[in-house]
């Protein structure tokens, strides 16, 4: 049976109140008594339930989410999920704040992380820009005792404690297989619309997509990646130009979040040709495009699950505890017009 505080009190010959003062490092205990209690703890092998102790003390966890300012629906949804978590703060014993930085701007992200190194919150969650300077400051933050979770886009090689997001290489491979099967052996060009190759999730999706395309669909020619910085207007211009200048394009993979602009460009040329389109993230725009046939399939990650996972992991790390990896695994969902939730 696991030793309890009652066992400590009996072994040390003191009251439960004295054991509580020693465990919580409060004043009012003579040094000789404190040493006797600590010796009893060692002898009986007592392991403190830190989470329960913090609950009893009413500990509040100050957490910071660093999110990009971006005019795309998925990031709007991610912001909203964090705001919902802020509403739940009273019951979850959190004090959550959002810090915004420009999208795809490593220097702005570094500056914000350096400010947090001075503030020392209980934990930080961020959408990472994969740059050496970001990795370095994350490592310094973790070394100082502040756990870090990456959201959506990982920072592999850093000392971050957890990544809350889908397997992006698998997502890219899945998109390629869907696109290739939907095209049914046709030959032609494939356009890829990304946000920026600066972020790891976009690079990994492209890596997985390229692998399957080259291995299994040699009749499909992959064009140079279009980087729309997840901006709807830029995505609209890039896709419109690509379709207007190349009549061999038969498929599009949108691996980022500029889908409002993509959909607008596709609808403008709807009567000219039939295109097969795979996109990421189920939003109001992509849901409508699935329903009317503008997009064929959407790969989705649950932003709410990612935010909740980040909070659970950061609280566990702040308490010096582990977490259940299976519970924190983010699932990749595939939606067609026939199985929309």
**55 has pLDDT over 70:** no
To the nearest whole percent, how much of the chain has pLDDT over 70? 94
d(CA 208, CA 175): 9
- Please choose, from the candidates 38, 18, 108, 20, the residue with its C-alpha nearest in 3D space to the C-alpha of residue 68: 108
pLDDT of residue 50: 55
HSE value, Cβ hemisphere, 13 Å, CA-based, for 47: 5
Residue 28: how many other CB atoms lie within 10 Å: 9
d(CA 5, CA 262): 62
- pTM, whole model, 2 decimals? 0.81
d(CA 215, CA 213): 6
DSSP 8-state code for residue 301? -
277 neighbors 26 (Cβ within 8 angstroms): no
DSSP 8-state code for residue 338? G
**303 has pLDDT over 60:** yes
SS3 119: helix
φ, ψ for residue 254, nearest 5 deg: -100, 100
- Please choose, from the candidates 252, 250, 254, the residue with its C-alpha nearest in 3D space to the C-alpha of residue 300: 254
Burial class (CB in 10 A: 0-12, 13-18, 19+), 273: exposed
Biggest distance spanned by C-alpha atoms of the chain: 88
**47 has pLDDT over 80:** no
SS3 331: coil
pLDDT of residue 181: 97
> Domains, the chain, ranges and CATH?
5-48 (1.10.260.40), 58-165+303-330 (3.40.50.2300), 168-300 (3.40.50.2300)
Question: In angstroms, how far is the first alpha carbon of the chain from the final one?
Answer: 47
Quickly state the pLDDT bin for 28 (edges 50, 70, 90): confident
Q: pLDDT tens digit string along 177-212?
A: 999 999 999 999 999 999 999 899 999 999 999 999
314 Cβ contact list (under 8 Å, min separation 6)? 61, 63, 122, 123, 124, 125, 147, 149
Q: pLDDT tens digit string along 203-234?
A: 999 999 999 999 999 999 999 999 999 999 99
- Please choose, from the candidates 162, 262, 254, 275, the residue with its C-alpha nearest in 3D space to the C-alpha of residue 205: 254
Give strand ranges (E) for the chain.
61-69, 94-102, 123-126, 148-151, 162-164, 188-194, 220-222, 226-227, 249-254, 276-280, 297-300, 333-335
- Number of helices followed by number of strands (H, E) in the chain: 14, 12
Q: pLDDT tens digit string along 137-187?
A: 999 999 999 999 999 999 999 999 999 999 999 999 999 999 999 999 999
Beta bridge partners of 254: 193, 279
């Amino acid at each position: 049976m696991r030793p309890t505080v009652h066992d400590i009190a009996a072994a040390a010959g003191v009251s439960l109140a004295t054991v509580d003062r020693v465990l919580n490092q409060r004043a009012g205990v003579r040094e000789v008594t404190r040493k006797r209690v600590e010796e009893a703890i060692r002898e009986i092998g007592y392991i403190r339930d830190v989470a329960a102790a913090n609950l009893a003390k009413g500990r509040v966890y100050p957490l910071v989410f660093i999110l990009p300012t971006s005019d795309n629906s998925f990031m709007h949804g991610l912001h909203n999920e964090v705001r919902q978590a802020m509403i739940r703060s009273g019951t979850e014993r959190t004090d959550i704040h959002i810090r915004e930085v420009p999208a795809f701007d490593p220097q702005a992200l570094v500056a914000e992380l350096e400010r947090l190194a001075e503030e020392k919150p209980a934990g930080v969650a961020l959408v990472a820009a994969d740059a050496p300077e970001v990795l370095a400051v994350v490592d310094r933050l973790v070394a100082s005792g502040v756990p870090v979770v990456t959201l959506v886009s990982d920072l592999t090689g850093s000392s971050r404690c957890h990544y809350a997001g889908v397997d992006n290489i698998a997502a890219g491979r899945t998109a390629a297989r869907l696109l290739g099967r939907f095209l049914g052996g046709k030959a032609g060009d494939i356009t890829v619309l990304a946000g920026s190759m600066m972020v790891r999730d976009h690079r990994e999706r492209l890596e997985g997509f390229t692998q399957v395309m080259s291995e299994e669909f040699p009749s499909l020619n992959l064009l140079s990646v279009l980087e729309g910085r997840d901006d709807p207007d830029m995505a609209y211009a890039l896709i419109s130009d690509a379709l207007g200048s190349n009549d061999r394009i038969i498929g599009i993979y949108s691996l980022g979040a500029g889908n409002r602009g993509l959909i607008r460009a596709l609808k403008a040329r709807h009567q000219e040709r039939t295109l097969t389109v795979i996109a990421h993230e189920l939003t109001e725009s992509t849901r409508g495009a699935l329903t009317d046939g503008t997009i064929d399939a959407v790969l989705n990650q649950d932003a709410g699950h990612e935010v909740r996972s980040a909070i659970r992991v950061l609280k566990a790390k702040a308490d010096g505890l582990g977490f259940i990896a299976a519970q924190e695994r983010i699932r990749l969902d595939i939606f067609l017009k026939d199985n929309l939730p």
